[in-house]
Amino acid sequence: MYNAMNMILEIKCGNVEDSYRILPAFEVEIMDRNPGSYMHVFRHKNLRPRGDDKFARLFWTFGPCVRPFRTSRPIILVDGTHLRRKYLGILLIAIDVDGNNDLYPLAFEVVETENEDSWEWFLKLLKRHILQKQMNVFTICSDRQNGLLQAVPVVFPNYYHSYCMCHLAANFRSDFKDLLLERLFWRAARTLREKVFKETMEKIKAKNEPAHKWISNIPKENWASFYFKEIGMMY
């Protein structure tokens, strides 16, 4: 069954090796036919002094996605997912939020693994080819992926880093399996009043001290709305 599926995919989408082989030509076409787009194939020799000429990483962004970013909300969501076919790797993606709360992609990169080096590489290219000087201050939102916590302060030392509450709540639910505790966690995250935040955290502590310790180990300025730097200064 697996071999049959691969044969069908090859017939419909082409050979995997051929797809990698035409990437340089595809790079030229993308930038020629889509003004404002950028795409580059990085080989091992681009990443290390004694590297070979084989494919290593691929970064691309489309002009029609970059242009609206100048008037969108100052927030970028970053995430990664595994590639599953013959040649494995990780697809990194940056997504923006517009004024209608719609999401649209900003940039992509295929890397060999998800670590500090690959995330730092991706963020630097994102900064160079999309952000430039369009925004002095903005927020990066993430799931705290491997290496990302270390890479963000290096590339964006003065910007804000917010943790995805859906991801945190899912981890919290997995560890403690208590619906009331999860609701209290969400309440602490959403409130814009310091008094409510502290009262809610005390309720969590009284109900389950390990849960309170679990939450307290995460810097509150990265997940609690009141302590988030840009909002907290208003109160």
Structural domains in the chain plus CATH codes = 2-163 (3.30.420), 166-232 (no CATH)
Residues 68 and 98 sit within 8 Å (Cβ to Cβ): yes
Which structure tokens are listed for 145? Answer: 């992926």
Residue bearing the bigger pLDDT, 206 or 230? 206
Instruction: Name which of 134, 140, 135, 31 is nearest 79 in CA terms.
Output: 140
Q: Is the pLDDT of residue 230 over 70?
A: no
Task: Report the pLDDT value the prediction gives residue 55, as an integer from 0 to 100.
Answer: 84
Task: Report the pLDDT value the prediction gives residue 231, as an integer from 0 to 100.
Answer: 43
Task: Report the pLDDT value the prediction gives residue 212, as an integer from 0 to 100.
Answer: 96
Task: Report the pLDDT value the prediction gives residue 67, as an integer from 0 to 100.
Answer: 81
Q: DSSP characters for 142-175?
A: E---TTHHHHHHHH-TTSEEEE-HHHHHHHHHHH
Cα(56)–Cα(110) distance, integer angstroms: 8
What does DSSP say about strands 89-97 and 103-111: parallel, antiparallel, or unpaired? antiparallel
Residue bearing the bigger pLDDT, 100 or 233? 100
pLDDT tens-digit map of 15-69: 777 788 888 888 888 888 888 899 988 888 877 777 777 888 999 999 888 887 7
Residue with tokens 């590489």: 121
Residue bearing the bigger pLDDT, 196 or 160? 196
Q: Is the pLDDT of residue 202 over 90?
A: yes
Q: How far is CA 99 from CA 71, 95, 164, in A?
A: 8, 14, 20
